[in-house]
Amino acid sequence: MDNLFVGINISKKAVTAAILSIVCILGCFINVLPVKAAVATESTVTPEMCSPAYWNGLAADKAGTVLMDTERIRQFNVAALKSEKANMNDITAMDASFNATELKANLAQSILAEAPQKPIFVNGTQVDTATYYNGIAQLVQATGWGEVVGPKYAVGVSQTQIKSIPTTDYIGYSAEDSDDEIILSGLRVNEPFLVKECAIVNNKMFYWGYSKGVSGWVLADDIAFCNGKSEWLDMWQTDVAGKDFVVVTNDYFTLSESHYAPATSGVKLTMGTTLKLVPDKDVPRNIATRGTWNNYVVYLPTRDANGNCVKQMALIAQNKDVSIGYLPMTSANMVKLSFDYLGDTYGWGGMLDSVDCSAFVGNVYKCFGIDMPRNTNWQKEVPGTCMNIEAMDTATKAATISQCIPGTPLYFAGHTMIYLGTVDGTSYVISALGSVVDSTGYLDVKQENTVAVTPLTVRRKNGTTWLENINGIVEPWKL
């Protein structure tokens, strides 16, 4: 018996040693294997499809055709501004004095009226909805301006958000809500904002007013007041055919860090931002200890301690993606710009300093000088630009879409995307999307929250395809 157990123990040790030797050898082998880097995509999207060159190559015969000259772009902007359903704000015409006492009372009432009829989570913690909104409304009423006053003219000095209520709190409908539900839109650096009211909430100042696309509340630290309307217009207003400004044509970049110019150091500039060029005769030898070789010299709005706008010179490195004046509106440019967002975070209403689907389309089109309305439904309301295809059967929709120019915005309720092209009978788009279901396999809803290339055969939560749901095609060049 003793000999038998000794034999068994020896066998166990031998087996253990052998296993360890094999694991060690395999580990060494695995360590020398090359790692294959792969980017995940929708199941039918190939690596080649993740490049603008692929799509522009398919449409090479029309990729470089200018779709709208400067006069047609001016006509579009006028039509959008005049269309009541497009909900654009003509902020340059809001000169009249107004009763601020009445306005703050109306704003306080609107905050109460807009309170959700369901629980809210403030910074991840559930609170009583009525109590929270009542508190905000009371502070607006108590701290807002009174009497008859005129509007104040401001511009953005940092990328920020316009909100439906004045607060820095994150408001969700669950503890894990990925959307800050009170964000309405983003506000770029040097984007105009017409101010008509103020409020102090939790020791922070907010201003209520209008951008071109929405009205709402902005944190005071993120905007600066110009000295009158003339200075304000000169700061941001551009001519569609002008060459005295640059427009940012990448998703974003930041200005160089500087110890000597803290107000312009590391400022984030996003697609569609426009900044006036400093005339050659006014360019100094050095700016914050730097020379100007291989840099664009621009005027950047900054904010002093009193909230006033200070126009400072700043340098944009030549390697950054900017255009002197707006880009020619071509299919190739629309596709290229849309891919500059590929893989970026989805940001509801401009949260996370990013884009949602309508801002994605709006920012791309802004690079041509086109002012798109803020929301998907509004973007379809510019007269003479939207083809309604809701009543078409799926086959007719597919055939109609396949004839679109790459870069064309497509729409269904709550979503917009940019058409890229059709391959083997399937049309593909790029968009800033939230949840989606792959075009193959079972109905597995994924929270992607990213800018992605997809076929129109991807599905919604209810199992229907995007193609089935598309109801509008917007073609600004057909105005």
Sequence-distant (≥ 6) Cβ neighbours of residue 292 within 8 angstroms:
283, 285, 286, 315
Q: Judging by DSSP bridges, how do beta strands 252-254 and 472-474 pair with one another?
A: unpaired
pLDDT confidence bin for 286, thresholds 50/70/90: very high
Instruction: Residue 402: name the closest of 410, 413, 414 by CA.
Output: 410
User: Coil, helix or strand for 2?
Assistant: helix
Percent helix, strand and coil across the chain, each to the nearest 5 = 30, 30, 40
pLDDT confidence bin for 291, thresholds 50/70/90: very high
Residues 471, 92: Cα–Cα separation, whole Å: 34
Q: Which helix (H) or strand (E) holds 470?
A: none
The pLDDT score that the predictor gives to residue 413 is 96
| Angle subtended at Cα 381 by Cα 379 and Cα 386, rounded to the nearest 5 degrees | 85
Q: What is the pLDDT of residues 191-239, one digit of tens each?
A: 999 999 999 999 999 999 999 999 999 999 999 999 999 999 999 999 9
Q: What is the pLDDT of residues 368-420, one digit of tens each?
A: 999 999 999 999 999 999 999 999 999 999 999 999 999 999 999 999 999 99
For the CA atoms of the chain, what is the radius of gyration? 27
Residue 386 in tokens: 């939207």
pLDDT confidence bin for 61, thresholds 50/70/90: confident
Q: Which helix (H) or strand (E) holds 329?
A: strand 329-330
The string over 45-83, giving b where at least 16 C-beta atoms fall within 10 Å of a residue's C-beta and e elsewhere, is: beeebbebebbbeebeeebeeebbebebbbebbebbbeb
User: Coil, helix or strand for 205?
Assistant: strand
Sequence-distant (≥ 6) Cβ neighbours of residue 5 within 8 angstroms:
none
Whether the Cβ atoms of residue 380 and residue 87 lie closer than 8 Å to each other: no
Superfamily of structural domain 47-68+329-478: endopeptidase domain like (from Nostoc punctiforme) (3.90.1720.10)
CATH 2.30.30.170 positions along the chain are 88-236
Strand partners, 473: 387, 410
Per DSSP, the residues of 345-370 read: BB-GGGGGG-B-HHHHHHHHHHTTT-
pLDDT confidence bin for 259, thresholds 50/70/90: very high
Instruction: Residue 356: name the closest of 185, 163, 476 by CA.
Output: 185
E-strand stretches of 77-142: 98-99, 120-122, 125-127
CATH 3.90.1720.10 positions along the chain are 47-68+329-478
Residues 79, 374: Cα–Cα separation, whole Å: 15
Give the lowest-confidence range in 30-39, 91-100, 407-416, 418-427: 30-39
For the chain, the straight-line distance linking the first and the last C-alpha, in angstroms and rounded, comes to 98
The pLDDT score that the predictor gives to residue 10 is 47
Residues 222, 147: Cα–Cα separation, whole Å: 25
Sequence-distant (≥ 6) Cβ neighbours of residue 19 within 8 angstroms:
none
Residues 263, 303: Cα–Cα separation, whole Å: 8
Highest CATH level, class, for 88-236:
mainly beta
Give percent of the chain above pLDDT 70. 92
Highest CATH level, class, for 243-325:
mainly beta
